């Protein structure tokens, strides 16, 4: 079974997707981590993040997989925490914007999923491009105020909530209007509003949908 999860930045997708995968004993496919891994290797090899050819070659050169906890492995070696570093953060959106990089990575994501018995895939375009035929699609949503509140809390700066909120609204506009894999809700995705809910409550809600779906199609 493939479950695909998308939604705006700060809606709690990672925590919830990881938790759902764990509850189901499925593989957690962190698609963003794969683009981060390519960006890290671009940096390490001195390739040019703006060069589509160099980035595509870098993507093709390295084997990407996930350990049982859902953490990215690059040629079998842990990519964390380097894939979350500031220098990766700076170039990952340029690297992931190249269509030929996306083609390589999307094919890998599909291969990983077809080898697994169950997958929770999280990230931009998982519900539309990567797994358009996923058995279940969720679009996790939260108000800008709630997303800003969580982020401010996460970085330990509650006084910055207002500033974070305007930044999120600006990113939402960029995300939903950009040319490559914009943030769009797949027509068959279930919208889950997460305002005022804990990650555990959201996971329980998603699990109820999974169980209902399994009861309706017991052979899947
Ligand atoms: O979700 P994240 O912050 O780990 O994503 C890292 C980068 O990769 C970010 O620039 C968005 C991009 N990305 C993408 O283009 N397609 C995906 N399916 C997932 C992430």
How far is the centre of ligand 1, averaged over its atoms, from the C-alpha of 37 (Å)? 11
Q: Is the CB of 110 under 6 A from ligand 1?
A: no
pLDDT of residue 184: 86
In the DSSP assignment, the letter for residue 39 is H
pLDDT of residue 220: 52
Of all protein residues, whose CA lies closest to atom 16 belonging to ligand 1? 124
Tens-digit pLDDT string for the chain (220 aa): 999 999 988 888 999 999 999 999 999 999 999 999 999 999 999 999 999 999 999 999 999 999 988 999 999 999 999 999 999 989 998 999 999 999 999 999 999 999 999 999 999 899 999 999 999 999 999 999 999 999 898 889 999 999 999 988 888 888 788 777 778 899 999 999 999 999 999 999 999 999 999 898 765 5
Of all protein residues, whose CA lies closest to atom 8 belonging to ligand 1? 32
Domain membership flag for residue 213: no
The packing angle between helices 99-115 and 52-61, to 10°, is 20
Q: Is the CB of 128 under 6 A from ligand 1?
A: no
Domain membership flag for residue 38: yes
Cis geometry, peptide bond prior to residue 81 (ω within 30 degrees of 0)? yes
Determine if the pTM surpasses 0.85: yes
Q: Is the CB of 124 under 6 A from ligand 1?
A: yes
Domain total for the chain?
1
Domain membership flag for residue 215: no
Q: Which residue has the tokens 């027509």?
A: 187
E-state strands within the chain: 2-6, 27-30, 64-66, 72-74, 77-78, 119-122, 136-141, 190-193
Domain membership flag for residue 218: no
Give 212: exposed, middle or buried? Use CB within 10 Å, 0-12, 13-18, 19+.
Answer: exposed
Tokens of 207: 């699990």
Ligand 1 mutation pick, 18, 92, 121, 134, max ligand atoms within 8 A of CB: 92
pLDDT of residue 182: 79
Which CATH number is 138's domain given?
3.40.50.300
pLDDT of residue 58: 98
Domain membership flag for residue 212: no
Of all protein residues, whose CA lies closest to atom 19 belonging to ligand 1? 32
Of all protein residues, whose CA lies closest to atom 1 belonging to ligand 1? 32
Domain range enclosing 13: 2-207
Contacts of 188 (CB under 8 A, 6+ apart): 137
Q: How far apart are CA 133 and CA 141, in angstroms?
A: 21
pLDDT of residue 100: 97
Query: Alpha-carbon dihedral of residues 188, 197, 70, 33, nearest 10 degrees?
Result: 70
Of all protein residues, whose CA lies closest to atom 4 belonging to ligand 1? 32
Of all protein residues, whose CA lies closest to atom 20 belonging to ligand 1? 32
37, 82 in Cβ contact below 8 A?
no
Long-range contacts (CB closer than 8 Å, 24 or more residues apart) made by 150-153: 150/10, 150/12, 151/10
Q: How far apart are CA 7 and CA 2, in angstroms?
A: 17
Ligand 1 mutation pick, 8, 29, 31, 82, max ligand atoms within 8 A of CB: 31
Name the pairing type of β-strands 27-30 and 2-6. Answer: unpaired
Q: How far apart are CA 177 and CA 190, in angstroms?
A: 22
Tokens of 199: 């990650």
Domain membership flag for residue 25: yes
Quick one: which of 180, 158, 161, 157 has its CA closest to 169? 161
How far is the centre of ligand 1, averaged over its atoms, from the C-alpha of 124 (Å)? 6
Q: Is the CB of 32 under 6 A from ligand 1?
A: yes
Give 171: exposed, middle or buried? Use CB within 10 Å, 0-12, 13-18, 19+.
Answer: middle
């Amino acid at each position: 079974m493939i479950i695909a999860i998308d939604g705006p930045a700060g809606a709690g997708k990672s925590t919830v997707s990881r938790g759902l995968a764990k509850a189901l004993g499925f593989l957690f496919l962190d698609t963003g981590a794969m683009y981060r891994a390519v960006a890290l290797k671009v940096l390490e090899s001195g390739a040019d993040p703006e060069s589509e050819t160099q980035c595509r070659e870098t993507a093709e050169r390295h084997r990407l997989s996930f350990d049982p906890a859902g953490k990215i492995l690059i040629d079998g070696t842990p990519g964390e925490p380097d894939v979350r570093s500031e220098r990766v953060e700076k170039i990952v959106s340029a690297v992931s914007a190249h269509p030929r990089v996306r083609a390589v990575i999307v094919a890998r994501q599909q291969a990983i999923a077809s080898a697994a018995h169950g997958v929770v895939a999280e990230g931009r375009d998982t519900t539309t491009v990567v797994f358009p035929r996923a058995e279940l699609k969720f679009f996790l949503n939260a108000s800008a105020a709630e997303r800003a509140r969580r982020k401010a809390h996460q970085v330990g700066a509650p006084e910055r909530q207002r500033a974070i909120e305007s930044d999120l609204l600006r990113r939402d506009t960029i995300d939903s209007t950009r040319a490559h894999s914009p943030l769009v809700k797949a027509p068959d995705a279930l919208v889950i509003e997460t305002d005022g809910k804990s990650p555990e409550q959201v996971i329980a809600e998603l699990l109820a949908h999974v169980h209902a779906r399994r009861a309706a199609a017991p052979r899947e």
